[in-house]
Structure 1
Amino acid sequence: MRLYAAVAVSGFRRHATYRMATAAGVFTNTVFGFILAYTFIALWDERPHLGGYDRGQALTFVWVGQALLAAVSLLGGGFEQELQTRIRNGDIAIDLYRPADLQLWWLSADLGRAAFQLLGRGVVPLTAGSLCFELTLPGDPLRWLLFLCAVTLAVVVGFALRFLLALCAFWLLDGDGVIMIGQLLCVFFSGTLLPLTVFPGAFADVAQALPWSAVLQVPVDVLIGRYTGAGLAGALGFQAGWAVVLLALGRLTQARATRKAVVQGG
């Protein structure tokens, strides 16, 4: 485990070197946070308690979403393009020769990346939102700790989904289209655009049962206190369950892909 801890630290340091990109990301997240916040204010003025949220909770949803945007890679930007490139040019052979598990290696690196993005691009937008709007943020340290647990599980679920997409490069000459479709599904079904409870009827139930809801919808609901007691345990269990299922599916796919790996182009 010391090896994977070192890989995670390396992932943190790697992304910490891109200071201008981080500053630009903070600025972008903050600006879009204001745009979405005023859009939500107009919507909730017309439809109070839409989706079961009051206005303060809805605004909290906006700003926590902006804070987690890069950490959980809601719009991509994680490791998947790099892994696909290594598969296409044959460098994946070097990865497979390492005395380390391929999936755990990339997961460790992604956890390090997510930790930096949460601190580097998450704190400032959420602070700006809390200063300019009345957000429903908890004062209980335990609630924040549970939120961090939910965010960690969200990162793992997001990684597992993107790992599966990246492995498509073993069978496809160009997996960029698959990654783009995955990003669109994540944006729509994670709650990035609107809380999933806003969707009508059975569609909302289906959307909340999909793995993408574990990436954003569940962590935000944990923070604002929509889950308590057994419901809170169930929400974290829902995330953990999808993490286990998707990681296992990724491991099976990896085993099938690498059983007879053919380097494209020769």
Structure 2
Amino acid sequence: MLRAYVLIALWESRPGLAGYDITDAVTFCFLSQAFIGPMQVFGGGLDLAGRVRSGDVAVDLVRPASLQLWSLADDVGRAAYLFLLRSLPPTVVGAALFGLVVPVDPMTWLSFAAGFALGVVVSFGWRYLIALSACWIIDDKGVQSLSLVLTFFFSGMVLPLNLFPGWLGTLAQALPWSAMVQVPADLYLGKRDILGALGFQAAWAVALLALGALVTLAARRKVVIQGG
């Protein structure tokens, strides 16, 4: 609520800023809050790093299933659970208190659902790579902290990326973190070309999953079991 009032004050002083009106800005505020759980904006959500430290990853690596796809399936279940319990209730409260944008076009809802799902996959792809770093380093807390800062700043959680000036705005919009918050929110608000936005998210999802698969192969040869 405090963040919503900050954005209201900003848009009252600068109407039409970044192509949003006040209702758009407040809606973006509550959408970004709703994405925190499913997109795991603050990092974590995967047990992989802990399983490397405990030695349990040795069991994971000999299972007749892809470690990456198994982890993805588990993470999608986590995201769905948090969407229901962490995302919907505060958004409903925000709608009751402020009045949020509610799309009337079914295509907007479909594109948002697709963008949301792709955002979860992009988030997983990035967090999986961060978790795999535990195969090379003993303590991954520093990497996790750096990931948190990058994700929080470049996803659109601090402010809509449309407000970032010049080259910083261009860079922020092109990085994978924007696919987690900014792009799904803009699809909900009808502020982006649907095919372009979904294509951008899909490209990053494929790139991160492919890189994750390669790093998993390397980890099989490098991992040192620290416990167990």
TM-score range, shorter chain: over 0.9
Residues 70 and 118, structure 1, Cα contact 8 Å, conserved in 2: yes
Q: Indicate the residue corresponding to 1:238 in structure 2.
A: 200
Normalised by the size of structure 1, how large is the TM-score?
0.83
Task: Tell me the C-alpha RMSD between the 2 structures.
Answer: 1.3
Instruction: Give the 5 Å matches for 1:120-131.
Output: 120-131=85-96
Residues 41 and 55, structure 1, Cα contact 8 Å, conserved in 2: yes
1:249 maps to a residue whose letter is L
Hey, what's the Cα distance between the residues in 1 that align with 2:189 and 2:21?
Answer: 11
User: Is 1:105 aligned to residue 73 of structure 2?
Assistant: no
User: Is 1:252 aligned to residue 214 of structure 2?
Assistant: yes
Q: Indicate the residue corresponding to 1:18 in structure 2.
A: none
Deviations 1:157-184 (A, max 9, x none): 0000000000110111100110111011
Residues 135 and 222, structure 2, Cα contact 8 Å, conserved in 1: no
Ranges in structure 1 where 5+ consecutive residues have no aligned partner? 1-33
Aligned residues: 228
Residues 15 and 21, structure 2, Cα contact 8 Å, conserved in 1: yes
Deviations 1:221-264 (A, max 9, x none): 0000012xxx2101000000000001111111111111243223
Q: Indicate the residue corresponding to 2:12 in structure 1.
A: 45
User: Is 1:35 aligned to residue 2 of structure 2?
Assistant: yes
Cα 1:233–1:119 change in 2 (3 A) is same
Hey, what's the Cα distance between the residues in 2 that align with 1:258 and 1:75?
Answer: 27
1:69 maps to a residue whose letter is I
Q: Indicate the residue corresponding to 1:262 in structure 2.
A: 224
- Relative contact order (alpha carbons < 8 A, sep ≥ 6): 1 or 2 greater? 2
Residues 160 and 246, structure 1, Cα contact 8 Å, conserved in 2: yes
1:39 Cα offset (Å): 0.9
Cα 1:115–1:265 change in 2 (3 A) is closer
Normalised by the size of structure 2, how large is the TM-score?
0.96
Hey, what's the Cα distance between the residues in 2 that align with 1:265 and 1:93?
Answer: 10
Residues 161 and 246, structure 1, Cα contact 8 Å, conserved in 2: yes
Q: Indicate the residue corresponding to 2:118 in structure 1.
A: 153
Hey, what's the Cα distance between the residues in 1 that align with 2:132 and 2:109?
Answer: 34
Runs of 4+ that moved beyond 3 A? none
